[in-house]
Amino acid sequence: MAIRITENRLSRRAFLRSTAATGLVAASGLALPGISRAADRPVVTHGIQSGDVSEGRAVLWSRTDRPARAVFEWSTTESFADPRRLPTLTALPENDYTVKILAEDLPAGEEIFYRVRFADLADPNITADPVTGHLRTAPAGRRDISFVWSGDTVGQGWGINPDAGGMKGYATMLKHDPDFFIHSGDNVYADGVIKAEVDLPDGTKWKNIVTPEKSKVAETLDEFRGQYKYNFMDDNVRALYAAVPVLTQWDDHEVTNNWSDSKQLGAAYTEKNIHVLTARAAKAFHEWMPIATTMAEPQRVYRKIAYGPMLDVFMIDMRTYRGPNGDNLETAEGGVAAFLGPDQLAWLKQALLDSRATWKVIAADMPLSLVVWDQFVDNKGKGFEAVSNNNAGAPLGRELEFADLLRFIKAAGIKNTVWLTADVHYTAAHYYDPNKAQFQDFEPFWEFVSGPIHAGTFGPGELDMTFGPEAKYVKAPPAGQVNLSPASGLQFFGHVKIAADTGVMTVTLYDTADTALWSTDIQPAKA
């Protein structure tokens, strides 16, 4: 994509070069203790972020260390010539001193620079140093589009290791100068205890930064908040989020592993009510993530992001509305067999039907056909965590919803749907062919899996053939190896490019060393 540089306008790449040493990459006081540490001045503690960007709007976010007034401004120039000021917000302890605001009426297809300044509540002349971020709004017309996706951050005991360069996968994704980043869930591991040192198979040690909140499973609201604070201690995470909007969804580890109504909490938990934990986790998630708020359902995660005439992204929630994990063999849709739930499923059908974009990307936090067990008893899988029931026959249980959805997509003539997901901690490309399926009433489609971005690596999993998936590519640990550290090199993300002239979608699977592992070009079908 061509980069435009005018006298007072910088591209994202140039912006990063010009500001890396002065507050973008090191926007947190954790990284540069000398930034605005005067006792009477607010401090920007965890940088700045944007999210849910579209043609004329984006969510802006930041956090301070005390009650303070927050003023956001934006401009189309890095020098902030003629800045536009947004309404003042107040950072309060009820929201962990986080603030976020929907910036509207942004120009389409432009480089937008934004900043926040926190001021003392009693004296507006006492202010923190401003912190600056950057985003690119969706185009009004056809333009090359580029974005990345991955999931699973700080899982299985693998935390921030400064000796290893921190969470390097985030820096690698930023090198691709994407328009946005989709985080496919497990933004944090609230159940993931971090130890100071972990022994590696080669005799060396992995050394983690440790905080009190990461030293036990999260139960209190402050402990859930501490999961996000931990991740934003990493320079690479803050740099990506300050430069690139994030479209985020959640999965199980924002609360605890494999949670549903059937979850039984173990001895590590003093709070045994899964609904109490979920409520606290959801509050922390919405405080810390730059996700737009839906007034009718303030903690709703599923939503559509319109990114110009060539792309709509449908962020779905495969966690909140599900029935209890179990055998997954019900013969009727809904109730115990619910996964998306009736309201979300109806919304997704209508949103897909209404979409006029060339490509409809369904961002799912779990894969459709990989067998994911709920638990293991005597080394045997028991119950099901995802959609598949490992039955390889006609749809049953949660599969019924997706059979309904796929049938609807075909009957309505909806073209060019692509599924992106993470969750299983390896990378793969699956092609769904009705001719190879037990349920055949759908059009062929692709599902791409990528991750983890900084967690233990597992897999590969088995495929259930109800919907006829074929693994076109898989990269996972060698047989018998599980929970490999980020040092193993088996950390992954995906990169999507959409060409303005042809409409071709190119999907490339990468490791975090920036090695292109596999790629395919998908031709758009005509409606």
pLDDT digits (tens, 9 = 90+) for 414-458: 999 999 999 999 999 999 999 999 999 999 999 999 999 999 999
* Mean local confidence (pLDDT), 103-127: 95
Count of beta carbons in the 10 Å neighbourhood of residue 18: 12
Superfamily of domain 145-522: Alkaline phosphatase D (PhoD) (3.60.21.70)
Instruction: Evaluate the CA torsion angle 454, 133, 130, 294 in order and state its sign.
Output: negative
Backbone angles phi, psi at 503, to 5 degrees: 75, 5
Give the max Cα distance, the chain. 69
Query: 47 and 232 in contact (C-beta within 8 Å)?
Result: yes
- Residue pLDDT, tens place only, 35-62: 334 568 999 999 999 999 999 999 999 9
Of the CA atoms within 13 Å of residue 21, those in its CB half-sphere come to: 2
Percentage of residues in the chain with pLDDT exceeding 70? 92
SS3 434: helix
Which amino acid is present at 115? R
- Residue pLDDT, tens place only, 243-278: 999 999 999 999 999 999 999 999 999 999 999 999
Percentage of residues in the chain with pLDDT exceeding 90? 90
Joined together, the tokens standing for residue 296 give: 């009718």
Q: Please state, rounded to an integer, the average pLDDT across all residues of the chain.
A: 93
What radius of gyration, in Å, describes the C-alpha atoms of the chain?
22
- DSSP annotation of 484 reads B
In this prediction the pTM is 0.93
pLDDT of 134 over the 50 cut: yes
Contacts of residue 175, Cβ cutoff 8 Å, sequence gap at least 6? 514
* Pairing label, strands 373-377, 89-91: unpaired
12-136 domain in CATH 2.60.40.380? yes
Question: Which whole-number Å values give the CA distances from 414 to 248, 354, 409, in the listed order?
Answer: 25, 10, 5
SS (H, E, C) 268-311: CCCCCCHHHHHHHHHHHHHHHCCCCCCCCCCCCCCEEEECCCCE
- Residue pLDDT, tens place only, 199-251: 999 999 999 999 999 999 999 999 999 999 999 999 999 999 999 999 999 99
Q: Where are the domains of the chain?
A: 12-136, 145-522
Distance CA 25, CA 135 (A): 15
* Mean local confidence (pLDDT), 468-475: 98
Backbone angles phi, psi at 361, to 5 degrees: -90, 120
* Mean local confidence (pLDDT), 100-105: 98
Question: Which whole-number Å values give the CA distances from 398 to 255, 361, 369, 383, 515, in the listed order?
Answer: 22, 21, 11, 12, 36
- Residue pLDDT, tens place only, 61-72: 999 999 999 999
Count of beta carbons in the 10 Å neighbourhood of residue 268: 11
Question: How do the residues of the chain divide into helix, strand and coil, expressed in percent and rounded to 5?
Answer: 20, 30, 55
- pLDDT band for position 31 (50/70/90)? very low
* Mean local confidence (pLDDT), 158-186: 98
Question: Which whole-number Å values give the CA distances from 43 to 22, 95, 272, 506, 513, in the listed order?
Answer: 15, 16, 36, 42, 34
Distance CA 178, CA 157 (A): 29
pLDDT of 77 over the 60 cut: yes
CATH topology of 12-136 equal to that of 145-522? Answer: no
The pLDDT of residue 378 = 79
